[in-house]
Amino acid sequence: MIPVNDQLKQEVLNAYRFHGTLLSADPYGNGHINDTFLLVFDMYRMGRLKVILQRINTDVFQKPQELMDNVIGVTAFLQKKILDAGGDDSRETLTLIPTAGGELYYVDSQGGYWRAYQFITDAVCYEQVKKPEYFFEGARLFGKFQRQLSDYPIDALHEIIPDFHNTQMRYEQFQKALKEDVYERAGTVRDEIQCAMKYAYLCDIFPPLIASGELPLRVTHNDTKLNNQMFDNRTGKGLCIMDLDTVMPGLLAYDFGDAIRFGANTAAEDETDLSRVSLDLRLYKAYVKGFTEGCGSVMTERERELLPEGALVMTYECGLRFLTDYLQGDIYFKIDHPTHNLDRCRTQFTLLVDMADKLPKMRTF
Ligand code: ADP
Ligand code: GN1
Ligand code: MG
């Protein structure tokens, strides 16, 4: 994809014909995939108004129309549920802003896909939380998301990235990248390769349980990191789930596990001092409680039992994906420096080793 330049941005702004005077339009957030901008408008006597403008990463999401179909379907469904429950749909879920022509997304002259969201106000997005109470609230919100979508027609969803959490397939992609070793990096990451191989048994945990029907496929979020949700400034409670691009059929254990690998890590996803990386059991315990409470009767006993495995598998899979991307020359995740994906892979594998140690304890919660 071509980098977003001022001319392109202007073309998109023209398509939306927003009201007010644009004060700034700067890159925003820490997402690894899309190009996100925060637009700030002066609305004259009504103060300032913020809008999120995003260009969808079409290298990653190769069917952007289908993706937008999913987002439109899911947000409309959630809006109705929120209103029925007496909630505020403009803060509790994402709201797409139409273009001047009434479309919910815009295709630019270069073939790029754009969308605009109302900015979720009076709320905060965390990269890390230290307090179990906050993590509990985040978990409860993702659990509630599961419950809200439990009767969403699963067949209406496009599978935006097939095999997204198929860890076996992720392993095959890693092996292929290793074999090709296009950037001749394999020699410098022997320890990581060894770790990927040692824990490859994790790839085989969920497929048989899906095949036997022991674990149901649900409408899941599939990218439950902490920075994909907002917390209400006033109440401190989880408010809104963002980043709906990967809502697809999946397992509860994926949503639980992906949140743990990011949020219950004592360090950042790209921490380079690996001695700081570990699983915070207090945060883990809080997430189990919040997620279980949020899901309510939706979660089966077997799903509850397998939450710890979800944490290990998602941590492993993510580490594997970062390693694969590093071997392939950083073609998927956005990076800030040349070893960024390798740094991320290392935190995930370090965390995984710690989780494997703590698994008996994790199972007691
Ligand atoms: P990516 O797929 O690249 O992760 P996201 O959709 O997660 O993109 O957006 C990136 C970041 O932008 C989020 O982590 C969040 O901080 C911010 N963000 C996205 N949508 C909104 C919104 N509607 N209101 C406030 N912040 C938002
Ligand atoms: C990406 O888009 P973002 O930054 O919320 C990725 C997730 C990874 C995550 C790792 C579509 O999430 O799968 O777990 O990075 N999203 C996609 O931080 O691949
Ligand atoms: Mg995101």
pLDDT at 181: 98
Distance 243 CA to ligand 1 centre (A): 6
- Decide whether any atom of ligand 1 lies within 6 Å of the 39 Cβ: no
Whether residue 239 has its Cβ less than 6 Å from ligand 1: no
| Cβ of residue 269 lying under 6 Å from some atom of ligand 2 | yes
pLDDT of residue 68: 98
Give the model's pLDDT for residue 47.
97
* Contact in structure between 280 and 263 (CB atoms under 8 Å): no
pLDDT at 188: 98
| Cβ–ligand 1 contact at 244 (below 6 Å) | no
pLDDT, position 329 = 98
For helices 252-263 and 132-148, what crossing angle results, to 10°? 160
Mean per-residue pLDDT, 222-242? 98
Please tell me the residue having the least CA distance from ligand 2 atom 15. Answer: 32
Which pLDDT tens digit goes with each residue over 275-285? 999 999 999 99
Ligand 2 nearest atom to the CA of residue 161, by list position: 11
Q: How confident is the model at residue 211 (pLDDT cuts 50, 70, 90)?
A: very high
At residue 286, the pLDDT reads 98
Query: For residue 235, what pLDDT is reported?
Result: 96
What is the whole-number distance in angstroms between the Cα of residue 196 and the centre of ligand 3? 25
The answer to whether the CB of 240 is under 6 A from ligand 1 is no
Q: What average pLDDT score do residues 198-202 get?
A: 98
Average pLDDT over residues 298-307: 98
- How much is the average pLDDT of 111-122? 98
**Which residue ranges form the domains of the chain, and what is each CATH number?**
6-121 (3.30.200.20), 132-364 (3.90.1200.10)
> How far lies 360's CA from each of 75, 86, 205, 308, in Å?
39, 42, 17, 9
Using the atom order of ligand 2, give the atom closest to the CA of residue 318: 14
pLDDT digits (tens, 9 = 90+) for 337-358: 999 999 999 999 999 999 999 9
Q: Which residue has the least CA distance to atom 10 on ligand 1? A: 31
How many angstroms separate the CA atoms of 146 and 140, rounded?
10
Nearest Cα neighbor of 157 from 32, 254, 244, 53 is 244
Neighbours of 350 (CB within 10 A): 21
32 CB less than 6 Å from ligand 2? Answer: yes
Q: From the CB of 243, is ligand 2 less than 6 Å away? A: yes
Query: What residue's CA is closest to ligand 2, atom 12?
Result: 32
Percent of the chain with pLDDT over 70: 100
Kindly report the protein residue whose alpha carbon is nearest to atom 23 of ligand 1.
119
State both tokens at 91. Answer: 């803060």
Average pLDDT estimate for 231-242: 97
Instruction: Report CA(123)–ligand 3 centroid distance (Å).
Output: 16
CB of 260 closer than 6 A to ligand 2?
A: no
364: its two tokens: 């007691």
Model pTM score: 0.97
- Nearest CA residue ID for atom 12, ligand 1: 29
Q: How far is the CA of 224 from the centre of ligand 2 (A)?
A: 9
* Residue of 160, 333, 335 with the most ligand 2 atoms within 8 Å of its CB, for mutation: 333
pLDDT at 99 (0 to 100): 98
Atom of ligand 2 nearest to the CA of 60: 11
175 pLDDT band (50/70/90 cuts)? very high
Report the distance separating Cα 129 and Cα 113, nearest Å: 33
Task: Give the pLDDT score at 26.
Answer: 98
**Average pLDDT taken over every residue of the chain:** 98
Mean pLDDT along residues 166-193: 98
Mind listing the pLDDT tens digit for each residue in 57-108?
999 999 999 999 999 999 999 999 999 999 999 999 999 999 999 999 999 9
